[in-house]
Structure 1
Amino acid sequence: MRLTRDGRLLQTFARLADTLVDDYDVVELLQVLVDTCRDVLEMTAAGILLAGPQGELDLVASTSETRSFAEMMQLGSDDGPCLECYRTGRHVAVPDLAASSPAWVQFRASARRQGFRALDSLPLRLRDTSVGTLSLLRSSAGDAPAEDIVAAQAFADVATIGILHERAIRESSILSEQLQAALNSRVVIEQAKGVVAHTRGVPIDEAFTFMRQYARAHQLRLGLVAAQIVERRIEL
Structure 2
Amino acid sequence: MTNTTEWPETTLHDRLRRVSRTFVRLADTLVADFDIADFLHLLTEHCVDLLGVSAAGVILLDADGNLQVAASSSQRAELLELFAVQADDGPCIDCVRSGAPMSCTDLAAETQRWPKFTAAAAECRFRAAQALPMRLRDQVIGGLTLLNAEPGGADRADIELGQALADVATIGILQQRTIARGDQLTDQLQTALNSRVVIEQAKGALAQHGRVLMDEAFTRLRGYARSRHLRLTDLARAVGDGTADLAAILKHPRS
Report the residue type matching 2:239 in the other structure.
I
Alignment of 1:102-181 (within 5 A): 102-165=112-175, 167=177, 174-181=184-191
Distance of 1:24 and 1:88 partners within structure 2: 30
Query: Relative to structure 2, which stretch is displaced further, 142-151 or 48-57?
Result: 142-151
Aligned AA (2:224): Y
| Consecutive aligned runs of 4 or more in structure 1 exceeding 2 Å deviation | 18-23, 165-173
The total of aligned residue pairs comes to 236
Change (3 A) 1:173 1:39: same
CA contact (8 A) 1:125 1:157 kept: yes
- Please state how far the C-alpha of 1:114 moved relative to its aligned partner: 0.8
Q: Which runs of 5+ in 1 are unaligned?
A: none
Alignment correspondent of 1:195: 205
Shift of 1:28: 1.2
Cα pair 2:147 2:153 within 8 Å, conserved: no
Q: Aligned residue for 1:40?
A: 50
Displacement of 1:77 in angstroms is 2.3
Deviation at 1:143, TM superposition (A): 4.5
Question: 2:228 maps to which residue?
Answer: 218
TM-score, scaled to structure 1: 0.94
How far residue 169 of structure 1 moved from its aligned partner, in angstroms, is 11
Q: Which residue of 1 aligns with 2:252?
A: none
Note the C-alpha offset of 1:176.
1.3
Correspondence for 2:62 among 39, 43, 52: 52
What value does the CA root-mean-square deviation take over the aligned residues?
A: 2.1
8 Å CA contact retained: 1:47, 1:59: yes
Amino acid at match of 1:215: A
Moved more, 132-141 or 98-107: 98-107
CA separation in 1, counterparts of 2:110 and 2:205?
38
- The corresponding residue for 2:89 is 79
Q: Which has the higher helix share?
A: 1
Distance 2:162 2:190 in 1: 24
Q: In structure 2, do the counterparts of structure 1 residues 23 and 216 end up closer, same or farther at CA, with 3 Å as the change threshold? A: closer
In structure 2, do the counterparts of structure 1 residues 170 and 7 end up closer, same or farther at CA, with 3 Å as the change threshold? closer
Distance of 2:61 and 2:136 partners within structure 1: 14
Q: Distance in 2 between matches of 1:195 and 1:30?
A: 22
Identity of aligned residues (%): 45
Contact residue 63 and residue 186 of structure 2 kept, 8 A:
yes
Matched with 1:27 is: 37
